[in-house]
Amino acid sequence: MNYQKILEEIEEEIEPFLCEGKVADYIPALAKVDADQFAMSITLFDGRTFSIGESDQKFSIQSISKVFTFTKALKIFSSKLYTRVGKEPSGNPFNSLVQLEYENGIPRNPFINAGAIVTTDTLLAHYKEKAETFDRILSFIRDISGSEGITYDKEVWHSELEHGFRNLALANMMKSFDNLECDVQEVVETYFKHCSITMSTKELSRAMLFLANHGVDPITNMKYVSPHQAKRVNAVMLTCGHYDASGDFAFHVGLPGKSGVGGGIVAIVPRLLSISVFSPRLNSWGNSLAGTKALELFTNKSGLSIF
Ligand code: GLN
């Protein structure tokens, strides 16, 4: 398959969509990004990569980091994790509070904010100290992407800390239901910090490769999780990775994927490749508008959806 040609066709066809949607501004530092950027990268099992646009440009991975914390927590706690967080779609926005109360502080899944905050809490309880917890998350991301230089954006981190009222509300609500072990402030700080990690589409597509290959990185042969666990992470990406638009994403794109309000999306084609796209303007569900469309074009052109 001529991946580069497919990407170049997408680059042309995506043009009219790049001015649609709105950059996330509830985290003020995110509102400052250049809204017109676009990049897309594919990494194959043999290490070949194909890219269009500003594919070395780093951006805030935001909720894409939830894939990496969920993977780590699943590896440590295995199915015991599901006593604290579910694995069903929420049908609600990523930062919704209502469902959490009537479901007794147990978030529907690890990809909505409440679920990711619980996941971070389990890691913090395990590693005991917030600096150590963040270091473990960051070094895992560096390992899977083969990129030692990956770090976080202090300005975005602090900006979210200053405006994180809703996430603090979610964390406090879970604490009141006894579903948060550690100190609320420390958990939320650590959660915001991993959301503020910055990566390029090249790095992100590389990082997801182990999930396309039953938990084993096909380039380095490093085994990160069991095939069973990789299957679970992919299933939750498919059903919950785009919040209340997960059905829409499955319908139009047809791949397990995860978005972030920074404008990034990652997705995998099982046993073949991983892919990442970046375009900061979001649709009404908080997912990259042009990014979603570009992935739809990709699966239409390549025939590589899981369905
Ligand atoms: N850090 C963001 C938040 O908690 C992540 C949300 C997202 O990317 N959907 O609101």
* Token couple for 241: 């990775």
Query: If you search the block for the tokens 């170049």, which residue do you land on?
Result: 8
The reply to whether the predicted model has a pTM over 0.85 is yes
**C-beta of residue 283 within 8 angstroms of C-beta of residue 21:** yes
Atom 6 of ligand 1 has which residue's CA nearest to it? 63
Structure tokens at 87: 């694995």
26 Cα to the center of ligand 1, angstroms:
10
Q: Checking DSSP bridges between strand 59-60 and strand 151-152, what pairing results, if any?
A: unpaired
Q: What is the pLDDT of residue 245?
A: 96
Nearest atom, ligand 1, residue 113 CA: 4
Q: What is the DSSP letter of 264?
A: E
69 Cβ closer than 6 Å to some ligand 1 atom: no
* Band of residue 140 on the pLDDT scale cut at 50, 70, 90: very high
Would you state the pLDDT for residue 294? 98
Give the Å distance between the CA of 18 and the centre of ligand 1.
22
How would residue 7 be classed by pLDDT, with cut points 50, 70 and 90? very high
Ligand 1 centroid, distance to 63 Cα (angstroms): 5
pLDDT tens digits, 68-89: 999 999 999 999 999 999 999 9
Q: Is 133 in the pocket of ligand 1 (CB under 6 A)?
A: no
Task: Characterize the bridge pairing of strands 257-259 and 273-278.
Answer: unpaired
Ligand 1 pocket member 167 (CB < 6 A): yes
Taking the CA atoms of the chain, what radius of gyration do you get in angstroms? 18
Q: How far apart are CA 94 and CA 176, in angstroms?
A: 20
Q: What does the pLDDT read at residue 141?
A: 98
Residues annotated catalytic, as ranges: 63, 66, 191, 243, 261
**Sheet of strand 151-152, all strands in order from the earlier edge strand to the far edge:** 59-60, 197-199, 151-152
Question: What percent of the chain stands above pLDDT 90?
Answer: 98
Residue 82 has which token pair?
A: 């599901």
Give yes or no for residue 122 CB within 6 A of ligand 1.
no
What number is the average pLDDT over the span 91-101?
91
Exposure string for 253-280, b = 16+ CB within 10 A, e = fewer? bbbbbbbbbbbbbbbbbbebbbbbbbbb
pLDDT tens for residues 170-220? 999 999 999 999 999 999 999 999 999 999 999 999 999 999 999 999 999
User: Which of 59, 61, 62 to probe ligand 1 with, by most ligand atoms within 8 A of CB?
Assistant: 62
Q: Assess whether the C-beta atom of 196 lies below 6 angstroms from ligand 1.
A: no
Burial class of 79 by CB neighbour count within 10 A (0 to 12, 13 to 18, 19+): exposed
Q: Band the pLDDT of 142: cuts 50, 70, 90.
A: very high
What's the pLDDT score for residue 119? 98
Give the pLDDT confidence score for residue 148 in this predicted structure. 97
**CA 8, CA 52: separation in Å to the nearest integer?**
7
- Per residue in 254-288, pLDDT (tens digit) is 999 999 999 999 999 999 999 999 999 999 999 99
Question: What's the CA dihedral at 187, 89, 79, 138 to 10 degrees?
Answer: -40
Torsion of Cα atoms, 81 then 179 then 264 then 250, to 10° = 60
Does an H or E element contain 159, and which? helix 154-163
Mean of the per-residue pLDDT values of the chain: 97
Direct distance between the N- and C-terminal alpha carbons of the chain, in angstroms, rounded to an integer: 19
In this structure, are strands 197-199 and 59-60 parallel, antiparallel, or unpaired? antiparallel
Superfamily of domain 3-302: DD-peptidase/beta-lactamase superfamily (3.40.710.10)
- The DSSP letter of residue 141 is H
Structure tokens at 226: 């069991």
* 214: alpha, beta or left? (left if phi > 0; alpha if psi -120 to 50): left
Read off the pLDDT of residues 22-73 as tens digits, 9 standing for 90 and up: 999 999 999 999 999 999 999 999 999 999 999 999 999 999 999 999 999 9
How far does residue 155's CA lie from ligand 1's centre (Å)?
Answer: 15
Q: Which of 259, 261, 266, 278 to mutate to test the pocket of ligand 1 (most atoms within 8 A of CB)?
A: 261
